[in-house]
């Protein structure tokens, strides 16, 4: 459409990408994610002028609300959680297009009302039949909602309009269930209509991995087995499972985090340069590298799963996983997982990738550390370099987004002594625009139909192929190790790296 | 932390910067550009405040060059440079150096500024008032990649726009142009929603507001149709009416904050279109430092090619007073647009 618009010009870079006429329907609108992330993100987009005039937001939930009650809930959520300041005129623009549909997921009448609401919005707000359905619902409700959308012709795209489905993790709990889920979704929505949200991919720092690697000359030449010793990817949380016992028990850290976030980070870190920055080229490279991931021969030696035990976390007493409310005291679910994988290709053969994630660890941090080999020869004697570690490039995904480069430098003084120093780039310091929230970017991309940052079916299935044998091994062998809450994981994980002559970074 | 230096030189200022940084324990990291503000004493406070607000988005070294007036021949022969170095909490996210120039040195401000520029980082010069007619030819402007002027703040904006067009050098930009980005983006979005050919345009706004002229010239340049500029009581821009072959498209903002977009055959919608603070404009300006070709092209269209503002149009402009289309001119269309026309029936069906 924009190609024929004489006011659009690629050289005119002040004009932002504005989504075309459209609306967003949120199922499970009363949930936490919806209030804390989705509603504020929609407001922030509107505030930045990135939503089309007449943009509509439809909530669908069981709660007995009128449109005004819904608008009030959104209003409160926006005031509390939005990133940009609250402005009355933006709110007025947004609130004109807010609707609420009351009903349960198996209620045919409610879906008929939803269809009526969409038709009404097309007339009143000019949304042009373009709607995205955001399924912020528990996994078990998935099939029902998808089927209802089909039954009431809500998924039909007619005469130039589009319908899209946005789904959140978990994308199944193993390969088989993921395939079943994909079959259910794709029976109703074509692959290019489905957007799987992995909010990590919406983060500026994650997109910056690609910029860092492929827009610069100084990193890529050493980004291979000749220089890299190993890579550590960490995602640590300081919180416990909180109120999510029902969801978490039986799933565990590996399925919850490694399967999606960490393997996506691994793919971006290890993939070859894509032919272009479009969705197909990116997916092709990511799929290729995920397909080349090789598991260690001895899973007992090179993987660790563990549960947090009672301990002190940042000055507060924390109970152990098995004592949490709603958890079976005999549960074998992992709250910490560390695995070692290799990548079978010319660039990475022999370079181990260590992935770890856990709850109730030291602090909340996500980072990718590329640790380099030691210099092959040192003209300095060993006392001079005693305190020198390995060079490293660390991408800090969150918090305190940025990149750190660690290298050795001479300590001022008469003797030759070399010590690690770090050079730091922080987003907050050098960047011009405060970084948008991941959900803002992803929701906008859904409305624009830009699928760059969304994992595809093949990627999800490949990730399960990597994780399934590990989960199976854990099921059959031994019980989870223990680590006190508030520490950096079990000693078994430290031993796992020690056997390779390496150690975990303290992030 | 604040250091006052009286009767000083650039190298002493540099030394004070290094000392200051050591004292507060923060190295010079993360600053992305040097912003040079050239102003008189009267406007210095507002400009500096704006810059430090904008610096939340763009950590920068801000150099405020204040040219003092000498009132006697004796004063003019003496020259003096006073500096105020602000670091840490006093300077927001970057470093600020206020330079006061007396006497002869006023004409050689570039000699003070040059040693104080950040190494290897872009330089932006901003004149809140009294911008030179040829910014790129100005000794300070010549140091910069980007030269920001503001025709809104001058006596005869329209004449100044013509002068800017003559002197345009890549890297020039004007805050009057920055002010209309939300309008331009909303108008572009409006045309995304219909597939019609625009035949005539009317831009309505207060007098002595060069943003109206710039918006009109941009529309004329992009759409290749006659554009009429009419006057209203403001505030700022009040309306743009586009007469298309499928009915009028009107963006109307009476109160300076909430606008109304009406398109033939579609429901009228409210859109937020608030007039922005200068700090937001500067922040937008600093976001992209490459030459703005769209601005150049709009500016060069020429103010004289727009209809002269017609005072009699005032007041009764709100109704259906769409600019009189000139059918002869619209007949000549680029071939690319004809190709796009073939899709029209499908798109129209979708819009309903």
Interface residue B192 vs chain A (CB under 8 A): yes
Put simply, the answer to whether B340 touches A54 (Cβ < 8 Å) is no
Statement: residue B318 has pLDDT above 70:
no
Averaged pLDDT for residues A141-159? 88
Tell me which residues of A are annotated as active site: 261
Name the minimum distance, in Å, from the CA of A136 to any CA of chain B. Answer: 28
Contacting B residues, span 105-164, partner chain A, CB-CB under 8 Å = none
Query: What's A503's DSSP letter?
Result: -
CATH number at residue A125: 3.40.50.720
Q: β-strands A365-372, A418-426: how paired?
A: unpaired
In this structure, chain B runs to a length of 352
Return the minimum-mean-pLDDT range out of A278-287, B143-152, B284-293: B284-293
Name the minimum distance, in Å, from the CA of B50 to any CA of chain A. Answer: 15
Q: Which of A168, A189, A212 is the last residue of a domain?
A: A168
Statement: residue A2 has pLDDT above 60:
no
Give yes or no for a contact between A428 and A401, defined as CB atoms under 8 angstroms apart: yes
pLDDT tens-digit readout, B26-57? 655 567 789 999 999 889 999 998 888 887 77
The H-or-E segment that residue A342 falls in is strand A336-343
Name every chain A residue with its beta carbon within 8 A of the beta carbon of B185.
Answer: 14-16, 18, 49
Statement: residue B334 has pLDDT above 80:
no
Contacting B residues, span 292-321, partner chain A, CB-CB under 8 Å = 292-294
What's residue B316's pLDDT?
A: 38
User: Of all residues in chain B, what percent are helix, strand and coil, respectively (each to 5)?
Assistant: 40, 25, 35
CA dihedral B142, B147, B152, B154 (to 10 degrees): -10
Name every chain A residue with its beta carbon within 8 A of the beta carbon of B223.
Answer: 6-7
State the residue range of the domain holding A412: 201-498
Give yes or no for a contact between B269 and A53, defined as CB atoms under 8 angstroms apart: yes
What's residue B329's pLDDT?
A: 38
Put simply, the answer to whether A46 touches B272 (Cβ < 8 Å) is yes
Domain count across chain A: 2
A192 in any annotated domain: no
Put simply, the answer to whether A49 touches B57 (Cβ < 8 Å) is no
In 3D space, the residue among B10, B125, B8 whose CA is nearest the CA of residue B62 turns out to be B125
Q: Helices (H), strands (E): how many in chain A? A: 17, 18
Put simply, the answer to whether A159 touches B350 (Cβ < 8 Å) is yes
Residues A380 and A466 in one domain: yes
Statement: residue B184 has pLDDT above 60:
yes
Q: What is the 3-state secondary structure (H, E, C) of A470-496?
A: HHHHHHHCCCCEEEECCCCCCHHHHHH
Averaged pLDDT for residues A397-401? 81
Name every chain A residue with its beta carbon within 8 A of the beta carbon of B222.
Answer: 6-7, 9
Name every chain A residue with its beta carbon within 8 A of the beta carbon of B266.
Answer: 54, 126
Tokens encoding B156: 């005869």
Q: CA of A434: which chain B residue's CA is closest? A: B57
The H-or-E segment that residue A442 falls in is helix A438-448
Q: What's chain B's Rg over C-alpha atoms? A: 24
Averaged pLDDT for residues B83-108? 84
Return the minimum-mean-pLDDT range out of B89-98, B192-201, B244-253: B89-98
Task: State the Cα–Cα distance between residues B12 and B7, nearest whole angstrom.
Answer: 10
Name every chain B residue with its beta carbon within 8 A of the beta carbon of A129.
Answer: 350
Complex prediction ipTM: 0.72
What's residue B239's pLDDT?
A: 93
- Vertex A415, ends A414 and A417: CA angle to 5°? 130
What's residue B30's pLDDT?
A: 67
Name every chain A residue with its beta carbon within 8 A of the beta carbon of B191.
Answer: 5-8
Task: State the Cα–Cα distance between residues A1 and B343, nearest whole angstrom.
Answer: 9
Comparing A419 with B265, the larger pLDDT belongs to: A419
Task: State the Cα–Cα distance between residues B177 and B284, nearest whole angstrom.
Answer: 11
Is-cis flag, bond preceding B235, omega within 30?
Answer: yes
β-strand partners of A57:
A24, A98
Put simply, the answer to whether A432 touches B187 (Cβ < 8 Å) is no
**Averaged confidence pLDDT in chain B:** 81
Q: β-strands B172-174, B123-126: how paired?
A: unpaired
Name the minimum distance, in Å, from the CA of A126 to any CA of chain B. Answer: 6
Statement: residue A359 has pLDDT above 70:
yes
Q: CA of B298: which chain A residue's CA is closest? A: A12
Q: CA of A127: which chain B residue's CA is closest? A: B351
Coil/strand/helix, residue A414: coil
In 3D space, the residue among B101, B98, B9 whose CA is nearest the CA of residue B48 turns out to be B98
Averaged pLDDT for residues B96-121? 89
pLDDT tens-digit readout, A44-80? 999 888 888 889 999 999 888 888 899 999 999 999 9
Averaged pLDDT for residues B247-263? 87
pLDDT tens-digit readout, A327-346? 888 888 999 999 999 999 99
In 3D space, the residue among A369, A231, A354, A249 whose CA is nearest the CA of residue A303 turns out to be A354
What's residue B26's pLDDT?
A: 64
Tokens encoding A430: 């050098």
Q: Where are the domains of chain B?
A: 2-149
Task: Say if residue A1 is exposed, middle or buried (CB neighbours under 10 Å; 0-12, 13-18, 19+).
Answer: middle
How large a percentage of chain B has pLDDT more than 70?
A: 84
pLDDT tens-digit readout, B124-137? 999 998 889 899 99
Tokens encoding B236: 């700022």
Coil/strand/helix, residue A358: strand
Tokens encoding A376: 């092959």
Task: State the Cα–Cα distance between residues A405 and A401, nearest whole angstrom.
Answer: 14
What's residue B91's pLDDT?
A: 65
Task: Label residue B246 by pLDDT band (50, 70, 90).
Answer: confident
Residues 6+ apart with CB under 8 A from B288: A13, A14
Considering the entire predicted model, what is its pTM? 0.81
Residues A152 and A209 in one domain: no
How large a percentage of chain A has pLDDT more than 70?
A: 98
Task: State the Cα–Cα distance between residues B238 and A19, nearest whole angstrom.
Answer: 25
Give yes or no for a contact between B204 and B232, defined as CB atoms under 8 angstroms apart: yes
Put simply, the answer to whether B184 touches A14 (Cβ < 8 Å) is yes
Q: CA of A426: which chain B residue's CA is closest? A: B30
Interface residue B249 vs chain A (CB under 8 A): no
Q: CA of A122: which chain B residue's CA is closest? A: B352
A117 in any annotated domain: yes
Name every chain B residue with its beta carbon within 8 A of the beta carbon of A44.
Answer: none
List the single best residue of A1, A3, A7, A430 to mutate versus B (max B Cβ within 10 A).
A7
pLDDT tens-digit readout, A122-142? 888 888 889 999 998 888 888
Put simply, the answer to whether B349 touches A87 (Cβ < 8 Å) is no
User: Of all residues in chain A, what percent are helix, strand and coil, respectively (each to 5)?
Assistant: 40, 20, 40
What's residue B311's pLDDT?
A: 39
A20 in any annotated domain: yes
Q: What is the DSSP string of A142-204?
A: HHHHHHHHHHTTTT---TT--EEEEEES---SSHHHHHHHHHHHHHHS-GGGEEEE-GGGGSH
Task: State the Cα–Cα distance between residues A338 and A356, nearest whole angstrom.
Answer: 4
Task: Say if residue B178 is exposed, middle or buried (CB neighbours under 10 Å; 0-12, 13-18, 19+).
Answer: buried
Q: CA of B295: which chain A residue's CA is closest? A: A12
Task: State the Cα–Cα distance between residues A274 and B3, nearest whole angstrom.
Answer: 52
Task: State the Cα–Cα distance between residues B337 and B244, nearest whole angstrom.
Answer: 14
Statement: residue A183 has pLDDT above 80:
yes
Residues 6+ apart with CB under 8 A from A365: A234, A235, A236, A396, A398, A399, A507
Task: Label residue A305 by pLDDT band (50, 70, 90).
Answer: very high
Task: State the Cα–Cα distance between residues A235 and A224, nearest whole angstrom.
Answer: 23
Residues A147 and A29 in one domain: yes
pLDDT tens-digit readout, B75-92? 778 888 999 998 876 666
Task: State the Cα–Cα distance between residues A426 and B126, nearest whole angstrom.
Answer: 27
Residues A225 and A366 in one domain: yes
Is-cis flag, bond preceding B182, omega within 30?
Answer: no
Interface residue B189 vs chain A (CB under 8 A): yes
Put simply, the answer to whether A5 touches B188 (Cβ < 8 Å) is yes
Put simply, the answer to whether B189 touches A432 (Cβ < 8 Å) is no
Name the minimum distance, in Å, from the CA of A118 to any CA of chain B. Answer: 13
Statement: residue B123 has pLDDT above 90:
yes
User: Strands of B227-232's sheet, edge to edge?
Assistant: B227-232, B198-206, B237-244, B247-252, B258-263, B269-272
Put simply, the answer to whether B59 touches A54 (Cβ < 8 Å) is no
Put simply, the answer to whether A16 touches B185 (Cβ < 8 Å) is yes
Task: State the Cα–Cα distance between residues A311 and A318, nearest whole angstrom.
Answer: 5
**Averaged confidence pLDDT in chain A:** 89
β-strand partners of B206:
B232
Put simply, the answer to whether A125 touches B269 (Cβ < 8 Å) is yes
Task: Label residue A309 by pLDDT band (50, 70, 90).
Answer: very high
What's residue A433's pLDDT?
A: 57
Task: State the Cα–Cα distance between residues B129 and B126, nearest whole angstrom.
Answer: 9
Q: Which of A120, A152, A168 is the last residue of a domain?
A: A168
CA dihedral B126, B128, B129, B132 (to 10 degrees): 10
CATH number at residue A275: 3.30.360.10
Statement: residue B327 has pLDDT above 60:
no
Residues A230 and A334 in one domain: yes
A191 in any annotated domain: no
In 3D space, the residue among A136, A64, A74, A148 whose CA is nearest the CA of residue A102 turns out to be A64
Task: State the Cα–Cα distance between residues B265 and B247, nearest whole angstrom.
Answer: 8
Query: What's A364's DSSP letter?
Result: -
Residues A88 and A227 in one domain: no
pLDDT tens-digit readout, A14-53? 888 788 889 999 998 888 889 899 999 999 999 888 888 8
Statement: residue B321 has pLDDT above 50:
no
Coil/strand/helix, residue B248: strand
Residues A219 and A160 in one domain: no
Name every chain A residue with its beta carbon within 8 A of the beta carbon of B350.
Answer: 128-129, 159-161
Task: Say if residue A273 is exposed, middle or buried (CB neighbours under 10 Å; 0-12, 13-18, 19+).
Answer: exposed
């Amino acid at each position: 459409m924009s190609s024929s618009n004489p006011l659009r010009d690629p050289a005119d870079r002040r004009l932002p990408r504005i989504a075309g006429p459209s609306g967003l329907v949120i199922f499970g609108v009363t949930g936490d994610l919806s209030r804390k992330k989705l509603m504020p993100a929609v407001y922030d987009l509107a505030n930045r002028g990135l939503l089309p005039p007449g943009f509509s937001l439809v909530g669908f939930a069981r709660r007995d609300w009128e449109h005004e009650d819904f608008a009030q809930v959104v209003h409160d959520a926006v005031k509390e959680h939005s990133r940009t300041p609250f402005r009355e005129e933006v709110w007025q623009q947004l609130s004109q297009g807010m609707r609420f549909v009351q009903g349960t997921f198996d209620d045919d009448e409610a879906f008929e009302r939803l269809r009526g609401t969409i038709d009404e919005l097309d007339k009143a707000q000019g949304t042009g039949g373009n709607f995205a359905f955001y399924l912020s619902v528990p996994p078990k409700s998935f099939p029902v909602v998808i089927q209802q959308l089909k039954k009431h012709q809500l998924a039909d795209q007619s005469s130039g309009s589009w319908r899209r489905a946005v789904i959140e993790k978990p994308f199944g709990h193993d390969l088989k269930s993921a395939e079943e889920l994909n079959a259910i979704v794709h029976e109703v929505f074509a692959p290019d209509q489905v957007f799987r949200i992995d909010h990590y991919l919406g983060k500026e720092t994650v997109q910056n991995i690609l910029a860092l690697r492929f827009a610069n000359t100084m990193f890529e030449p050493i980004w291979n087995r000749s220089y890299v010793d190993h890579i550590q990817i960490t995602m640590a949380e300081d919180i416990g499972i909180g109120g999510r016992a029902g969801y978490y028990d039986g799933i565990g850290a590996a399925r919850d985090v490694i399967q999606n976030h960490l393997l996506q980070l691994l793919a971006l870190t290890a993939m070859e340069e894509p032919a272009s920055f479009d969705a197909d080229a990116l997916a092709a490279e990511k799929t290729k590298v995920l397909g080349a991931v090789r598991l260690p021969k001895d899973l007992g030696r090179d993987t660790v799963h563990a549960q947090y035990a009672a301990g002190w976390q940042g000055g507060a007493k924390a109970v152990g996983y098995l004592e949490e409310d709603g958890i079976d005291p005999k549960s074998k679910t992992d709250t910490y997982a560390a695995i070692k994988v290799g990548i079978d290709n010319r660039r990475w053969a022999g370079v181990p990738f260590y992935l770890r994630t856990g709850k109730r660890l030291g602090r909340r941090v996500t980072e990718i550390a590329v640790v380099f080999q030691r210099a092959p020869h040192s003209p300095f004697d060993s006392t001079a370099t005693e305190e020198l570690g390995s060079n490293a490039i660390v991408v800090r995904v969150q918090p305190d987004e940025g990149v750190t480069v660690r290298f050795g430098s001479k300590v001022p003084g008469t003797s030759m002594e070399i010590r690690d120093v770090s050079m730091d780039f922080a987003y907050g310091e050098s960047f011009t625009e405060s970084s948008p929230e991941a959900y803002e970017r992803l929701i906008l991309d859904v409305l624009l139909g830009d699928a760059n940052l969304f994992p595809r079916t093949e990627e999800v299935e490949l990730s399960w192929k990597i994780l399934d044998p590990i989960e199976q091994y854990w099921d059959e062998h031994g019980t989870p190790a223990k680590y006190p809450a508030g520490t950096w994981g079990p000693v078994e994980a430290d031993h796992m790296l020690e056997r390779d002559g390496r150690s975990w970074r303290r992030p | 932390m604040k250091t006052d230096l009286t009767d000083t030189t650039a190298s002493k200022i540099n030394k004070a910067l290094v000392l200051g940084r050591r004292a507060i324990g923060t190295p010079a990291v993360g600053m992305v550009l040097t912003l040079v503000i050239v102003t008189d004493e009267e406007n210095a406070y507002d400009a500096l405040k704006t810059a430090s607000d904008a610096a939340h988005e763009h950590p920068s070294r801000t150099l405020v060059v204040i040219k003092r007036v000498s009132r006697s021949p004796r004063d003019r022969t003496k020259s003096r440079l006073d500096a105020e170095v602000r670091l840490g909490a006093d300077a927001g996210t970057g470093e600020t150096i206020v330079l006061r120039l007396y006497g002869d040195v006023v004409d050689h401000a570039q000699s003070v500024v040059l040693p104080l520029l950040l190494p290897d980082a872009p330089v932006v010069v901003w004149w809140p008032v009294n911008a030179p007619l040829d910014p790129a030819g100005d000794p300070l402007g010549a140091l910069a990649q980007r030269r920001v002027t503001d025709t809104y703040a001058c006596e005869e904006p329209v004449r100044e726009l013509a002068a800017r067009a003559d002197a345009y050098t890549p890297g020039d930009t004007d805050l009057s142009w920055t002010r209309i980005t939300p309008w331009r983006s909303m108008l572009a979005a409006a045309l995304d929603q219909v597939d019609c050919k625009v035949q005539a345009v009317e831009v309505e706004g207060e007098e002595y507001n060069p943003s109206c002229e710039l918006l009109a010239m941009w529309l004329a340049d992009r759409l290749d149709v006659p554009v009429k500029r009419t006057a209203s009581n403001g505030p700022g821009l009040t309306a743009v009416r586009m007469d298309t072959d499928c009915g009028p498209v009107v963006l109307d903002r009476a109160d300076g904050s909430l606008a109304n977009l009406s398109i033939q055959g579609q429901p009228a919608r409210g859109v937020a279109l608030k007039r922005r603070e200068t700090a937001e404009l500067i922040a937008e300006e600093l976001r992209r430092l490459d030459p703005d070709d769209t601005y150049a092209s709009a500016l060069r269209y020429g103010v004289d090619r727009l209809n002269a503002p017609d005072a009699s149009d005032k007041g009764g402009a709100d109704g259906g007073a769409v600019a009189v289309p000139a059918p002869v001119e619209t007949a000549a269309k680029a071939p690319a647009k004809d190709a796009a026309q073939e899709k029209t029936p499908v798109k129209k069906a979708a819009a309903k």
